[in-house]
Amino acid sequence: MFHWLEKNPFFFAVGVFLVIAFAGIITILPNFAESSRPVVGLKPYTVLELAGKEVYKKDACIACHSQMIRPFKAETDRYGQYSLSGEYAYDRPFLWGSKRTGPDLHRIGNYRTTDWHENHMWEPIDVVPGSIMPAYKHQFTNLADIETAYAEAVTVKNVFATPYGDEFQATKAAWEAHKPKVLADAKAIAADMKNQDVKDAVAAGNIPEVVAIIAYMNRLK
């Protein structure tokens, strides 16, 4: 049989291709499956963090910021440990980005604080001299869409098999049970902020967008 293959270049090439393809599949796919699992210690996004992610998308932060640190010394020296695929296990969609008008944000939770984000969102140039980032003062009055964020968690859990917990159910009772946790998370963020209007809003049970996006930024580590 092998002598026959050697005399027929076309079938020999097809055979070689099939062998290499099969070897590649059984070698590579298990590694992909392993690397796509959540890294040790990674937890699902909270509803407040998901609401902040929606603000991040709505206000087009991805247009100027990436969330992927490449494995090059110049990148890791500036931004920290390069990104691992398992760190995106709960991301739907991925916000890797491709343009860096501003810095990469994948590790920003390691070196920026709630207070820093509050001042930066209010007036970026006062915090970073020469910054061309616009102010996002509307985030201090616009309310975050918490209910949609909860629905997103339920959707990515059921449709995309994202490993969110069983507490995320498509029922009104499950949503009502989750509300106190969201408000508690918001109060923890607002406690570290100076803006009194934001503090008062959260105390009244309302969550401004800036609280949600800061929760999301603090998550990025």
Could you check whether the bond before residue 163 is cis, i.e. omega within 30 degrees of 0?
A: no
Residues 189 and 211: beta-carbon distance below 8 Å:
yes
Give all strands (DSSP E) within the chain, no chain letters. Answer: none
Residues 212 and 97: beta-carbon distance below 8 Å:
no
pTM for the full model?
A: 0.83
47-219: CATH, from 3.40.720.10, 2.30.42.10, 1.10.760.10, 3.40.50.300: 1.10.760.10
Residues 44 and 153: beta-carbon distance below 8 Å:
yes
Residues 179 and 147: beta-carbon distance below 8 Å:
no
Q: How many helices (H) and strands (E) does the chain have?
A: 10, 0
Q: Report the alpha-carbon angle 115-119-121, nearest 5.
A: 115
Cβ burial 61-99 (10 Å sphere, 16+ → b, else e): bbebbbbbbeeeeebeeebbeebeeebbbbeeeebebee
**In Å, how far are 24, 67, 192, 195 from 108, measured between CA atoms?**
37, 10, 17, 22
pLDDT at 184: 97
pLDDT at 134: 96
Break the chain into its structural domains and give their ranges: 2-35, 47-219
Per-residue pLDDT of the chain (221 residues; tens, 9 = 90+): 566 666 777 777 888 888 888 777 766 655 555 556 788 888 999 999 999 999 999 999 999 999 999 999 999 999 999 999 889 989 988 999 988 999 999 999 999 999 999 999 999 999 999 999 999 999 999 999 999 999 999 998 888 888 888 888 989 999 999 999 999 999 999 999 999 999 999 999 999 999 999 999 999 99
